[in-house]
Amino acid sequence: MTATTTRRRTGRVRDLVSRWTFLAPAAVVLAAVLAYPIYYAIQISFSTLDLTTFGPGEFVGFENYEDAFANQNFIRSLGTTAIYLILALPLQIILGFAIAFFLNAEWRGRGVIRALFLIPMVIIPVVSGGTWKMLLDPVFGVISWLLSLVGLPSPNWFGDPAWAMLSIVIIDTWRSTPFVVLIAAAALLSLPKDIYEAAQVDGANWWRQLWSISLPLLTPIIAATFIVRWLGAVKMFDIVISTTRGGPGQSTNVVNLYIYQQAFQSLKFPESAAMALIVLVITMVLTFGFLAISKKLENRF
């Protein structure tokens, strides 16, 4: 009995060592790329910054964090980011899975459409923003011209605060939805066919199969896709800076853009580092919450 237990422990140790051997190169790269910048940001967030050496100066404790929380523009940028996430993420998830259901059906030419759907995903965000800025131009834009053909007035897409946020959501949805479609299409192909065949024998129509079979089976995938898109959307920066630059006013000034402005335009590096770390903590807390919900959904379905 003792020999058997020893062999099991030895096997577990070997397995653990082999796993970490494969993980070590990636862990070293991640540590080199992420650890020092985070450590540097933490350092300067608790001190002043010596602009001659770009190193931490006098220790000031939580003063930079107090300034960050007292900064109403920073709080407003967090709210702007929340509005963008609330509008964009559900739209992208629902639209992505709906398109995937459509592409999963048997019809002629769906392979070509699938390939075309991947194009927006591989375009650089800045290029996407610049292209859509030209398309949505209220005077020379193609979208405005198409609206004029049916007698509809063209809104001031980037000049009106409400339309500016909606424009950012539209551009990001156009670019990010194909990623959701890709994951959803792969998930649909992995669903067991025998369940659908049994449902057809029982007389279940398409809607009943979708509501009672597909959605419950896809719930863990939907939750995981939401988390992946959340981690991407919370970093929104490129599209905003290439279209509205946070305007008009502060209506599209998402938190990443505001931190960038504070650091590289106002040269408030310590305060911007504190803001970045606050955003990092908020993101981590929400991500762990989403992961816990995803785990519960996975166990339930």
Domain boundaries, given as residue ranges, for the chain: 2-45, 72-300
Provide the token pair at 195: 């369940």
**Considering only CA atoms, which of 30, 29, 92, 78 is closest in space to residue 227?**
92
Closest Cα partner for 218 from 251, 195, 236?
195
pTM (2 decimals)?
0.86
Superfamily of domain 72-300: MetI-like (1.10.3720.10)
Point out the least confidently predicted range of 67-81, 167-181, 203-217: 203-217
Answer whether 180's CB lies under 8 Å from 93's CB. Answer: yes
Among residues of the chain, what percentage have pLDDT more than 90?
A: 44
Asked if pLDDT for residue 4 goes beyond 70, the answer is no
Q: Which residues pair with 49 in a beta bridge?
A: 56
State pLDDT tens for residues 230-258.
Answer: 989 999 999 999 999 998 988 999 999 99
At 270, the pLDDT band (50, 70, 90 cuts) reads: very high
- Confidence band (pLDDT; 50, 70, 90) for 5? low
Q: Is the pLDDT of residue 1 over 70?
A: no
Q: Which residue has the higher pLDDT, 75 or 24?
A: 75
pLDDT band at 276 (very low <50, low <70, confident <90, very high): very high
Picking from 110, 109, 108, 91, the residue whose alpha carbon sits closest to that of residue 100 is 110
Using alpha carbons, list the distances in angstroms from residue 124 to 131, 192, 246, 294: 11, 36, 19, 30
- Tens of pLDDT, residue by residue over 163-209, are 999 999 999 999 999 999 989 988 888 888 888 778 888 777 777 87
Taking the C-alpha atoms of residue 101 and residue 138, their distance in angstroms, rounded to an integer, is 35
pLDDT bucket at 6, cuts 50 / 70 / 90: low
